[in-house]
Amino acid sequence: MNSLTKKIIAITLSLFIAYLIYYGSFLPFRKAQKYIKTRETQVNSLDQFNALYDGLLNYPSPVGQDEIVSAYLEILSILIDREASNKNFNEQLVRHLVGKAEEWAGPIIEKGAGFSFSKIIFNFANVYRSATIVLQDEEYYKKAIRFYALGLEYSPDRTIFLYNLFDMYRFGGDKENARKIGERIMKVYKDEKVGQILQDL
């Protein structure tokens, strides 16, 4: 092996190592720093909230995006629930927050895989559940049902999906499907409280 070949190999290895460090360590670290700073920032307006989280979620990193999207969905649910507690709630705000959830979670759901995928499905469904409760919106109700059911496809018999799906069917007055899910809960978990609810359906 001549000296030129050795130099080419050395340069190639150095570039490859630099690439791994930049994309595998530096970018994820910077994204984590931005996430912490974003969570610590006091938000005083919707525009500020959007600018903070859009900046965070748009920051390029091969690691950490799915986890941050999941946490973002939790925040959106909390904000919608908080708005629902207001007597004169802002419908436009609620729909905007649902739209932001769709913007960031939609591509991950369509991909059908990712880190914390079941948790993203659950938190996405929760956004629709919260919006359904405050707005009584039929489309949001159907989407909440859809994503809780999707969660069961990836995590069969997981309690967070079963119980929320059971509650949503009852909320929507769908006694037939509520009974089916309730019976499934009883079969797997023998929940006496659910058994009592089934008797009253």
| 110, 129, 150 - which closes a domain | 150
pLDDT tens digits, 89-137: 899 999 999 999 999 999 999 988 767 899 999 999 999 999 999 999 9
**Domain boundaries, position 167:** 157-201
Q: Tell me: do 144 and 194 sit in the same domain.
A: no
Written as one string, the DSSP assignment of 106-165 is: HHHHHHT--TTHHHHHHHHHHHHHHHHHHH--HHHHHHHHHHHHHHHHHSTT-HHHHHHH
Q: Tell me: do 18 and 47 sit in the same domain.
A: yes
Q: Tell me: do 185 and 86 sit in the same domain.
A: no
Q: Tell me: do 107 and 163 sit in the same domain.
A: no
| 111, 133, 150 - which closes a domain | 150
Q: Tell me: do 121 and 173 sit in the same domain.
A: no
Q: Tell me: do 56 and 106 sit in the same domain.
A: yes
Q: Around Cβ 59, how many Cβ atoms within 10 Å?
A: 17
Q: Is the pLDDT confidence value at 26 over 80? A: no
- From residue 111, how far is each of 105, 106, 181 by CA, in Å? 10, 9, 27
Q: Tell me: do 40 and 17 sit in the same domain.
A: yes
CA distance 197 to 95: 32
- Number of domains the chain is built from: 2
Q: Tell me: do 171 and 126 sit in the same domain.
A: no
Residue 23 pLDDT grade (very low, low, confident, very high; cuts 50, 70, 90): very low
pLDDT tens digits, 40-93: 888 888 999 999 989 888 887 766 789 999 999 999 999 999 998 888 889 999
| 129, 150, 171 - which closes a domain | 150
How many residues would you count in the chain? 201
Q: Tell me: do 59 and 133 sit in the same domain.
A: yes
Q: Tell me: do 109 and 17 sit in the same domain.
A: yes
Q: Tell me: do 173 and 74 sit in the same domain.
A: no
pTM value? 0.85
Q: Tell me: do 61 and 139 sit in the same domain.
A: yes
CA distance 176 to 114: 33
